Structure 1
C-alpha cells in the first residue's frame, strides 16, 4: 500500500499529516496498466447495479445530478429495490424521493441539506449522525460496504488523470474502498490539487457530460445587522494576526470573514470555504505564511460557492484539498498557530450545551466538522487557540437563542465541556473554566435585552443560586 504522501499528484508537499496510510482497498493514484473505463450513455451506465447495493454519492457542489436521475430511471425500469445512497449534503433535484422511486432507493444522509430535510423528517430518508472526520472510517472499516461510487470529475488529462474537483472530503475514502466506480466527467469541474487525484483506469464507467453540466452554486445573501455585528465582534476581539482559521458554513462565519480585511498573515485550514476567502487573498490578509501544516497554502476538504470561486480553483496549486479524515483530525488541526474555529449554532442553553444539527425534534443538518475544529482549537499546541460558537441572540420570530433548557428532541452537537467562547451581537461570553453559575451569568450578559430577566429567573430555578461572575 502506498503512503498518502507518495500517492499524491497535481503538486508536491510534505507534512506529517499526509504520511499515514489509511489502509484503503485500492490506491487510485497509480495507473492500472491496460485498463480503461467504458464510456457509456447514462441509460447504460448502471448495468452492474443490482437490488440491495450500497452506493456512495459525491456531494455539495459536485453532486452528480444527471447520474442520480439516470439511476432513478434505471431502478424503475429494471424493478430494482433496496438500493441505499450514502452521502453528505447533496444539492439539486432528488428524483429518488419521487413517489414511484422512493420505495426502491433510500438515502442514508450523513449530513442533510435543504433538499432532503423534508424526506429525513417524514421518514422517507435516513439520518446518520457522525463526526465529519470519522465518516471516511465508515467506508475504511467496513461499517458501510460500498458496492459502487457515483462521482463527478474533471476530464482526464494527457496522462489519464482526473480530479475529484470541489469535493474531496469523504469522496476519496469512498472511491478507494468501493468495488465499482461510475464517474461523470465535466469540463466545468476544476482540476484541484492534493488528495483529489484519481487515475481514469480506476474508473469503471464514464458518462461524458461534454456539453458542461453547471456545478451547483451557493447563493450568499447580504448579512443582516445582527450577523454583521457578530462578525465585527469576532474579527476585532478574537482573531489575531497570524491566526489559522476554520469557518463553518453560514451567514455568521461569512460575516466574520468579511470583517477581516485589515488582518495580516491569516492562514486557512478548514473543512470548507466559500467566496469569502477570495477578497482576503487579493488583499494579502490571507498569506498562510505562519501555518505549520501546509504553509503557504489554503488547506480545505471541500468548497461550495460561485462559478468565480470554481474558476479560481482550477489548476491553482495555492489550494490544497485533503481527505477529511486528516484535514479534520484535531491532532493535525492543533499543530497550526492560533487556531481560530468559527462555527454557528441553533441554540445554546445556560450551561453551554450547543445545538447545531436540529430544531427541536426536526433534523436540520448534521454534526459536520464543528466538534472536530472546536476541539482542535481548544487543545492547540501553542495554547492560543480560540474555539468560537456564534449565533444571533434572538430569532426572527422573537425567540431567545440562549435558553434555560434545550428544546425537547434537540441534539447536543458541541458539549458544554468543548465550549470556550460564545458570541452574539451583544458581546462575548467566555465559558471555559467557569462553573454553571458563572456560565449562566456570562450567557445572560450577551442574551437579547428583552430576554435577560426571564433567563435570570430560569437560571435561579434551575441552579438554585443566582448567576454571578465570582
Structure 2
C-alpha cells in the first residue's frame, strides 16, 4: 500500500504549460490540494480556451449545487460541438442551471452521469440519454479515492485567491474535495461572487491548472418560498414535540425543513451538523437559538457539506469562521453523527407505504444510533400531493426508488399528527400511519392494509 501511495505521490501533474514530478501530501487516501507549490501558477484563460483541455472519451467532474460553474458548462457544450467530440462523460451531483449538455443534440457527444438526480437532468434520465448511479452521498468520495472512477478533468468554482494564494470551494465542498484530489486537470472558474468558506473548502491556486475569471455572474439562488398552512402545521408539530433544547439538527432541503426552522425561535442551544442548509438557520443564529455549544463534534461551529439559498445566505457564509464546510464523507458519517447530543434529523419524502418507508439514510441512521439514546429520525410530508392523492400508500409505486427501509424510520409526521413506528409490528405501523393520513383516504388505506396484512390494523 505504501509503495502504491508513493508512486502516486510522484506522478506527473501539469501546471499550465509546465510539467514536472511533484511530491504531494495525502488526505485520507489521495493527494491533498492544500499546500502551495513554489513558483507554480495557473494559466489564466477565457472559458473556451480553458475547456480545450477536454477531449473525446474524457471523464469530467462538474462542481454542483450553488457552486455550479455555469460559464464553464456553456463553454464545454460549445467546444464539444465545434470540435466534433464524442463519448464525454460528465459526473456530478445536483447542479444548478439548464444543464444544456443533456439536450438531444448532445447524444453521443456528452452523457450525464448523475450521482444525485436534479430536476434539470431528470427528463434526460427518463428518456435513456443520461445515466444515474444510485449511491449514498457519504460514499461518493470513495468512488474517487478508491479509483473506481478516474477523472480526466474537474470543472470547479472557486473564490478569488487571497494574498497567500488560497481559493475556497465556497458553498459546495461535498464530494468536490475528493474529485479534485483525483482529477488529472483542474479548471477553476474564479467567481468574484463566491463566498469564502472554511474547513475542507480551501485549495491552493498552484494545484489549479487553468483559471477563468468571472467578475459578474451571481451564484444560483434558491430563496425560501412562502410556507403553506399545511407546512406550517407540520413545522409546529415537529418543533413543539420532537425538537428539544440542546439538540443537534440535520435538515434536508425544501419547505418542510424550513417550516420546522421557522418554529424554533423559543428553543435554546441548538446545534447544526447537517448535509446541507439554507436561509432558515440565519435568523436562529442571529437570535442566539443556534449556538452549537452542546455539540461534541466541531463544538461551537455550524457543520455542513454544501448550502443552497439566497444571496443573504451566501453573504452570511462569506469569511465566517462560524461556518465549517467539510467533506461529505465526514459530515454524513454515521459514526460521527451519532456522537452529537439529541441528533434530530428532519427530512421529507415523496411517499411512505403502510409499513413505513422514506428517504435520507445517513442522518436517519445517525440519529437512530445516537450515543445518548435521544436521537430522533424524522420523515415529514404533507398527507396528500397537490392533486389530492394520498402520500401514504398501500405499497410504493413500481419503479420508485427506495432510499430508507422500514427499519430505519422512527417518526413520520404529517399535518394530522406524529406516527411513532420504532418497535411496532406491521399492523401497528399501518394503524399509526392511517391515523395521520388525510381523512378522505383513511377508509381506503384501512381496506388496503387488511388486504395486504390479512388482519386489521390495530394499536
Which interval holds the TM-score relative to the shorter structure? over 0.9
User: Structure 2 matches for 1:61-140, cutoff 5 A?
Assistant: 61-140=66-145
2:410 aligns with: 420
* TM-score normalised per structure 1: 0.91
Could you tell me which residue of structure 1 aligns to residue 438 of structure 2? 448
The aligned runs of 1:134-173 (5 Å cut-off) are 134-173=139-178
Q: How does 1:54-453 map to 2 (within 5 A)?
A: 54-209=59-214, 211-354=215-358, 356=359, 370-453=360-443
Query: Residues 57 and 85 of structure 1 are in contact (CA less than 8 Å); yes or no, is this contact kept in structure 2?
Result: yes
Q: 3-state DSSP class of the match of 1:100?
A: helix
Deviation at 1:101, TM superposition (A): 2.6
CA positional deviation for 1:396: 1.4
Q: What SS does the aligned partner of 1:198 have?
A: strand
Question: Alpha-carbon deviations, 1:176-229, whole Å to 9, x = none?
Answer: 1111100000110011000000000000011111x2211000132111111111
In 2: Cα distance, 1:241 partner to 1:424 partner: 22
Aligned partners of 2:405 and 2:27: how far apart in 1? 31
Structure 1 ranges of 4+ moved more than 2 A: 97-103
CA RMSD of aligned residues (A): 1.3
> Which segments of 5 or more consecutive residues in structure 1 lack a partner in the other structure?
3-19, 357-369
The residue aligned with 2:15 is none
> 1:99 Cα deviation (Å)?
3.9
Deviation per residue, 1:387-427 (Å, 9 max, x gap): 00001111111111111111111121110010000000000
Indicate conservation of the 8 Å contact 1:166/1:190, yes or no.
yes
* Corresponding residue of 2:12: none
Q: 1:134-162: per-residue Cα shift (whole Å, max 9, x none)?
A: 01111111121111100000010111000
Offset, 1:21: 4.2
Unaligned runs of 5+ in 2: 7-25
- How many Å apart are 1:54 and its aligned residue? 0.4
Report the equivalent of 2:47: 42
Partner residue in 2 for 1:360? none
1 or 2 for the larger relative contact order (CA 8 Å, sep ≥6)? 1
User: Which range moves more in the overlay, 337-346 or 30-39?
Assistant: 30-39
Instruction: Report the alpha carbon displacement of residue 102 of structure 1 after superposing the two structures with TM.
Output: 3.2
Match for residue 9 of structure 2? Answer: none
Cα distance in 2 for partners of 1:122, 1:98 equals 11
CA–CA distance in structure 1, aligned partners of residues 149 and 451 of structure 2? 46
Instruction: Report if aligned partners of 1:56, 1:146 keep a CA contact under 8 Å in 2.
Output: yes
Contact 2:67–2:171 (CA under 8 A) maintained in structure 1? yes
